[in-house]
Amino acid sequence: MRLLASLAVLSAAIAQTPDPAYAPLTRAYDALRARDYEPAVASFLQAIAAAPARPGIRKDLAYTYLKIGENLLARDQFQEAMRLDPADTQVALEFAFLCYETKEQAQARRIFDRIRHGAGAAAETAEAAFQNIDRPLAAGIERWTAAIAGGADNFSAHFELATLAEERDELALAAEHYEKAWRRLPDRRSVLVDLGRVWLALERKNEANAALLAASRGGEPRAGELARELLPPHYPYVEDFRRALALDPSNTELRRELGYLLLRMQFPREAELEFRTITEQAPGDLLSATQLAFLLYGRGETSAAQPLFDRVLAGDDDDLANRVRAVLHMPQVLKARPEAPKPQSIDAKVMAERSIKAGYMKDALKYLQIAHEADPGDFDVMLKLGWTYNILHDDLTAYRWFDLARRSPDSKIAAEAGRAYRNLRAANERFRTSAWLFPLFSTRWHDLFSYGQIKTEVRTAAPLRPYLSLRFIGDTRQTIGAAAPQYLSESAVILGVGVATVPWHGITGWAEAGNAVGYLTHHMLPDYRAGLSVARGVRSESGRWFADATLDGLFVSRYANDFLLYVQSRFGAAAGPEARRAQLYWNANLTMDSKRQDWANYFETGPGIRLTSSWLPPSMYLTFNAMRGAYLTSSRPNFTDLRSGVWYAFTH
C-alpha cells in the first residue's frame, strides 16, 4: 500500500513525453511579453489544437482576447475553460460577467446563482451580481403580470412577460406566455422558436419538435434557420408533421410538404386530403391546386379536377400552366419572361469575417460556402473554410480544404495552409507510419543499449487502430537479459500485429501478438504483450517551468507472464533561446512488477538535462541523467548510474 501511495503521488508529477503544446505556448507567452497580441492569439490556438483538454491555455487565450477587445471570443474561451475545469471559480465569474455584457443574462444569472452559494470573496461578488440581474427580472415579471390581469391581453404584453420569465428560468411561465403571444399573432412564427426552445428545456420533446417544425416551414427565413438548428437531425416523420399541424393548422408550407411526403410513401388518399385542405385555406396556392387536380384526374374524376385546372390556367405561373396543358393535351404557350431584378450583392467574405470575429462559426461556415460557390478559385476562402471546420471539430473536412488551399499561388496562403495540412495529416490519413530510435549508454551496466520500432497503423471510424510493428531491442555486449526491465536487452527483432486505442485525455491502451527472432540464438519465440499508458504535463504561464509524468503498465509473455509498472516523472525549467533550448530537471522514477522480483522493484532519482538545437531535426534531442537508486524488495546495494542517450522519431 505504501508503494501504491508513492505511485499515486509520483504519477501527478508527470512525464518524459514531450509536451505537444510546449513550442506554441512558448511563442504565445513571448508575444504577450512583447505586447504583440495577434501572434499570441495564433500561437494559443495552435496550442489548443495540440492539447485541447487543458483549461489553462483557453483561460490565457481568453484574457488575451480581452486585451484586444474581442469580448465575444473571450467569452467562448472562458466557457470552454469552465467546462474543462468546473472548480475554477474565477473562470466561471469571468464567463458570467462576459455573458451579462453580451446580452446573455439568463446564462449569467445561472452562473452567478451557482457561485453565490459557495464561500469567500467570489461568492460575495456573485451574490451582488446575481441580485443586480434577478431583482429587475422579478420586478418586470410582476409588472407585466399585473398589466395582463388589468386587461393588456395583447401580443407585446405576453411576449415581454415570457422573455423575462425565460431569463429568470421560470420556464413553465415562459412557455405559457410565449404560446399566448403566438396565438395572438400566428404569422409571427419566430415566437414558435422561443416556445420550442423553452419546451425543450422543460423536456416536453414532442411539443417542442412540433413548434420548431412549424417554425422551420413557416416562411420566416431567420426563424426557419434557428428552428432547424434545434430540430433532431433526421427528416421529420408523418407523426411529427401531424403534431406540428395540430399546433399550426394554417401553415400551408408545412401541410404541402406533408402531402408530398405521403405521396412518396404511396398514400395518395391521405395526401389528397392535405392538398384539398390547402386549396380551401389558400386558394392562391397554385402548386397545391395543380397536385390535387392531377390526383383527381388520375382517378378519373375529370369534372372535379377541371375547376382546379382552370384556376391554374388562369394564374400567372406559366410553368404550372404548361404542365396542365401537357396533361390535357393542349398546345403549349410560350411567353417572354421579363428579366427578374437581381438581388443586391452581399459580400459573403466580409460577412464571414464578421461572423468569425464575433465567434459565430456556424454562420461563418455558411457565408464561406456561399463565397466558395461564387468563386471556386478563391484560395483565401478555402483556407478560411479549413480553419472554420477545424474550430468546429470536423478535422477530416478541414484537412481536405487545407489540402486545396496549400496549392495557392499566394505564398503566404500556401504556407499557412501547408502547415495546417501537415498538422492534420497524421490524424486523418488512412495509413500512418511512425518510427523511433533510442540508443542509450549506461555506466551502471557499462553497455550501449539500443531500442527502436517501426509501426504502420490504419485509421478506422472506430476508436481502435490496428497496426503492424517491427521492434528492435539489443546491446553492444550482446547479452541476453539485463537486470532491470527498463534496460532489458532481448537481443531480438520482434515482428507483431496489434491494435491500439485512440489517445483519450492522455490515456492509450494497446495489445500486440507476434514472434521474436533472436539475432544471437536464431530462435523464434511467440511474443505477446499489452500495455496502458497515461501521460500528463503542466507548464507555467511563462512556459519556463514544467512538470511531466507518465505511468506505464506493461504485460510481457516472454518473462513468465510478468506485469511491469513504471512511473517516470520530472520537474524543472527550460533555459536558453528556443533554437538551442535546454531543459534542466529532476527525475523521480519508480519500477515495480507483479511477481515482486528483486531486480524489477526499485526507486531512482537524480538530475538530468535535455538538449535540442536548430541543427538537429525537430524531434531529436540529447539526454544526460545522473541517477541514484535503491532496490525495494531485496538487500542489493544502492546503485549510481550515469546515462546518456539520443532520441529520434518521425511520422510519415
Contact 424, 399 (CB under 8 A): yes
Using a 10 angstrom Cβ sphere, with 0-12 exposed, 13-18 middle and 19 or more buried, the burial of residue 114 is middle
Contact 437, 450 (CB under 8 A): yes
Contact 584, 516 (CB under 8 A): no
Q: Are residues 599 and 638 in the same domain?
A: yes
Q: Is residue 37 part of a domain?
A: no
Q: Are residues 409 and 437 in the same domain?
A: no
* End position of a domain, from candidates 428, 449, 466: 428
CATH number at 282 reads 1.25.40.10
**Average pLDDT of span 22-43:** 87
Using a 10 angstrom Cβ sphere, with 0-12 exposed, 13-18 middle and 19 or more buried, the burial of residue 644 is middle
Q: Are residues 518 and 464 in the same domain?
A: yes
Cβ-based neighbour number of residue 350 at 10 Å: 11
Q: Residue 455: beta bridge partners?
A: 434, 469
- pLDDT tens profile 218-237: 767 778 888 888 888 888 88
**So what's the pLDDT on residue 206?**
92
Q: Are residues 438 and 423 in the same domain?
A: no
The residue that leads in pLDDT, 426 or 465, is 465
Q: Residue 641: beta bridge partners?
A: 627
- pLDDT tens profile 410-455: 888 888 888 888 777 666 667 778 888 889 898 887 888 888 899 9
Angle ∠(571,572,573) on CA atoms, nearest 5: 145
In this model, does residue 485 exceed pLDDT 60?
no
- pLDDT tens profile 367-402: 888 888 777 778 888 888 988 888 777 777 887 888
Nearest alpha-carbon partner for 290 in 314, 263, 311, 261 = 311
| Rg of the Cα atoms in the chain | 34
Q: Is residue 634 part of a domain?
A: yes
Contact 193, 215 (CB under 8 A): yes
Q: Residues near 507 by Cβ (< 8 Å), separated by ≥ 6?
A: 501, 532, 533, 534
Q: Are residues 569 and 462 in the same domain?
A: yes
Using a 10 angstrom Cβ sphere, with 0-12 exposed, 13-18 middle and 19 or more buried, the burial of residue 121 is exposed
Q: How confident is the model at residue 357 (pLDDT cuts 50, 70, 90)?
A: low
- Tell how strand 464-475 and strand 447-458 pair up: antiparallel
In this model, does residue 590 exceed pLDDT 90?
yes
Q: Which three cell numbers stand for residue 646?
A: 539520443
> How many Å apart are CA 602 and CA 605, to the nearest integer?
10
> How many Å apart are CA 66 and CA 101, to the nearest integer?
12
Which of 215-219, 430-434, 464-468 holds the top average pLDDT?
464-468
Q: Are residues 443 and 554 in the same domain?
A: yes
Contact 218, 188 (CB under 8 A): no
Taking the mean position of all CA atoms in its chain, how far away is CA 51? Answer: 12
Contact 559, 594 (CB under 8 A): no
Q: Are residues 479 and 559 in the same domain?
A: yes
Q: How confident is the model at residue 498 (pLDDT cuts 50, 70, 90)?
A: very high
Q: Indicate the helix (H) or strand (E) that contains 327.
A: helix 318-327
Helix (H, G, I), strand (E, B) or coil at 210: helix
146-154 long-range Cβ contacts below 8 angstroms, 24+ apart: 154/184
**So what's the pLDDT on residue 227?**
85
Q: Is residue 104 part of a domain?
A: no
Q: Indicate the helix (H) or strand (E) that contains 537.
A: strand 524-539
Taking the mean position of all CA atoms in its chain, how far away is CA 624? Answer: 39
Among the residues of 186-267, which ranges form H helices? 190-201, 205-216, 221-230, 238-247, 252-264
Q: Is residue 632 part of a domain?
A: yes
Q: Is residue 97 part of a domain?
A: no
Q: What predicted TM-score, i.e. pTM, was given to this entire model? A: 0.48
Q: Are residues 446 and 590 in the same domain?
A: yes
Give φ, ψ of 290 to 5 degrees: -65, -45
**So what's the pLDDT on residue 14?**
42
Which residues constitute the domain of residue 385?
Answer: 353-428
In this model, does residue 355 exceed pLDDT 60?
yes
Contact 554, 25 (CB under 8 A): no
**Average pLDDT of span 462-490:** 64
- How high is the mean pLDDT of the chain? 82
Which of 106-110, 364-368, 375-379, 483-487 holds the top average pLDDT?
106-110
Q: Are residues 423 and 315 in the same domain?
A: no
Q: Residues near 436 by Cβ (< 8 Å), separated by ≥ 6?
A: 452, 453, 647, 648, 649, 650
Cβ-based neighbour number of residue 243 at 10 Å: 19
Q: How confident is the model at residue 461 (pLDDT cuts 50, 70, 90)?
A: low
- pLDDT tens profile 281-324: 888 888 888 888 888 888 888 888 888 888 888 888 877 788 77
Contact 40, 32 (CB under 8 A): yes
* End position of a domain, from candidates 273, 302, 335: 335
Number of domains in the chain: 3
Q: Is residue 111 part of a domain?
A: no
Q: Is residue 145 part of a domain?
A: no
**Average pLDDT of span 88-104:** 86
Q: Are residues 480 and 552 in the same domain?
A: yes
Helix (H, G, I), strand (E, B) or coil at 602: strand
Q: Are residues 259 and 320 in the same domain?
A: yes
Angle between helices 252-264 and 238-247 (to 10 degrees): 160
Which residue has cell 505511468?
A: 551
**So what's the pLDDT on residue 329?**
76
* End position of a domain, from candidates 302, 335, 368: 335
Using a 10 angstrom Cβ sphere, with 0-12 exposed, 13-18 middle and 19 or more buried, the burial of residue 404 is middle
Q: Residue 622: beta bridge partners?
A: 611, 646
**Share of residues in the chain with pLDDT > 70 (%):** 88
CATH number at 585 reads 2.40.128
> How many Å apart are CA 440 and CA 623, to the nearest integer?
9
Q: What is the DSSP letter of 578?
A: G
Which of 122-126, 181-185, 431-435, 587-591 holds the top average pLDDT?
587-591
Contact 47, 25 (CB under 8 A): yes
In this model, does residue 78 exceed pLDDT 70?
yes
Contact 33, 53 (CB under 8 A): no
**So what's the pLDDT on residue 616?**
74
Lowest average pLDDT, out of 74-83, 224-233, 354-363, 636-645, goes to 354-363
In this model, does residue 10 exceed pLDDT 70?
no
Q: Are residues 371 and 306 in the same domain?
A: no
> How many Å apart are CA 577 and CA 109, to the nearest integer?
46
**Share of residues in the chain with pLDDT > 90 (%):** 16
Q: Is residue 242 part of a domain?
A: no
What distances in angstroms separate CA 255 from CA 259, 293, 344, one per listed residue?
A: 6, 17, 32
**So what's the pLDDT on residue 587?**
95
Instruction: Give the CA dihedral 212, 215, 216, 220, nearest 10 degrees.
Output: -150
Q: Residues near 124 by Cβ (< 8 Å), separated by ≥ 6?
A: none
